[in-house]
Structures are given as C-alpha cells and as structure tokens.
Amino acid sequence: MQLSGNVVFWRDDKGFGFVVCQQTQQKLFFHIRDHAGDAGRPQTGDLLYFSLSKDKRGRDIAAPWRFATAKNSASPAEHKNNSNKNTDHSIYYANQLALWFRIAFLIAVVAALLFGQLLYVLPLLYLEASIFTYWLYKADKEAAIARHGNRLAEQSLQLFALIGGWPGAYLAQRQLAHKRSKLPFRREFGFVIVGNALLVIWLLSPWGQQFLARMALLGS
C-alpha cells in the first residue's frame, strides 16, 4: 500500500529524517539509503510517497520512499557547499546586525540617562535585548548543527546577555538546547544574571536614584 506524507524534520549530514503520514498521522523515520526514486535530497515540507516497513527493532519506518515531484539532482557535496554558503551568510549577517544593535542600544541607554527616563524604558530595553539575544542563539545553533566552522563568539553571546538579554539567553538555552552543557559558559552566564540583578537593585536604591538624578541634570 502506497502512503504519502510531508517531511517534518531532515538532518542532511546524517541522512535521516521524519515524515508524518497523511493517512495515519503517524510520525515515521526515513533514511536516505531507502530512497527508491530519482536523485535528490529531501527538505522540510517535501511530499514523499512511501511504503510502511519495519526496522531491525520492529519499529515502523517509511521505506522505500520517493519524492512526489522531481527534485534537483544536486550531489551531497553540492548540498553541503550550499549549506555552508547559507550558514556563512547567516553568521556574517548576525555579526553585522549585532554590531549595529550594540551601537543603537548604547545610544538608547545614554539618551535615557540624560533625559532621566532610564527606569521607565529599562523593561523595554531588556525585552529588545532578550529578543535579539534569542535570535543570536538560534543563528549559532543552526551553525552548530551544520558543523560550520564560522560561529558566533561566546563572548558576544555573553555580552548581549550582560546588557539585558539574559532572559532571552536563558529561554534559548532551554528551548534550543544550546550552550547549556558547557560548564564554564554556564558559570559565566550565572555571574551575568547576578550582575544584572545587582545593577537593577542599585538603580532602585537611594544611591542609584542620586546617580540617575545627576545624569538627568547633565542632560538638562
């Protein structure tokens, strides 16, 4: 019986993925070695035709399988080169955007200090930094999965956590399973969170209020 389904996950460097059967809604493992059709490599979203088989452990898998529509017959090496080029561009874009974000963030903090509005805009600054930091983690995670040599520096990730993006960094570590197993990185990240907490406490203290008042006078 021929079944059909869409690819929901594909790991090109390992040659395996998962497809959700349209007839049974079952999530099935499939491997490139069981490809029975024309040349080509799967991608997430591709529609496949397949038969239901069993692996060595008796689990259901999609094998043999073929594409519902013809695919480009690019070789694995070409796919790897294209993947590296795309990752290269993504990391370069992330680094460039990170530079401009740091400049804009610094300008926003200085302006808020001089106008005496820092405490009012601080939650917004934390939110923006967190969203951007999460995006950086995601870009670095994708580069790690592709085993790409060009990665975001850990110091850069920690810097964005330090300037207020630590909630986004924490969420990314949990959801993306990225950078949470490296003990030195996690230790530094803990110091970043403590440092942020102490800074906020100081800003809310009488000494911090006096500092903010003096900065506002300089801007008036």
Segments in the chain below pLDDT 50 = 73-80, 82-85
Please report the pLDDT score of residue 73 as a whole number: 47
Please report the pLDDT score of residue 149 as a whole number: 61
Please report the pLDDT score of residue 5 as a whole number: 94
Phi, psi at 183, each rounded to 5°: -60, -45
Phi, psi at 22, each rounded to 5°: -70, -30
Is domain 3-67 annotated with CATH 3.40.190.10?
no
Please report the pLDDT score of residue 199 as a whole number: 92
3-state secondary structure at position 119: helix
> How far is Cα 9 from Cα 137, in angstroms, rounded to an integer?
20
Reported pTM: 0.58
Q: According to the 3-state scheme, what is the secondary structure of 125-158?
A: HHHHHHHHHHHHHHHHHHHHHCCCCCCCCHHHHH
Please report the pLDDT score of residue 89 as a whole number: 55
Domain boundaries, the chain: 3-67, 76-219
> How far is Cα 36 from Cα 58, in angstroms, rounded to an integer?
21
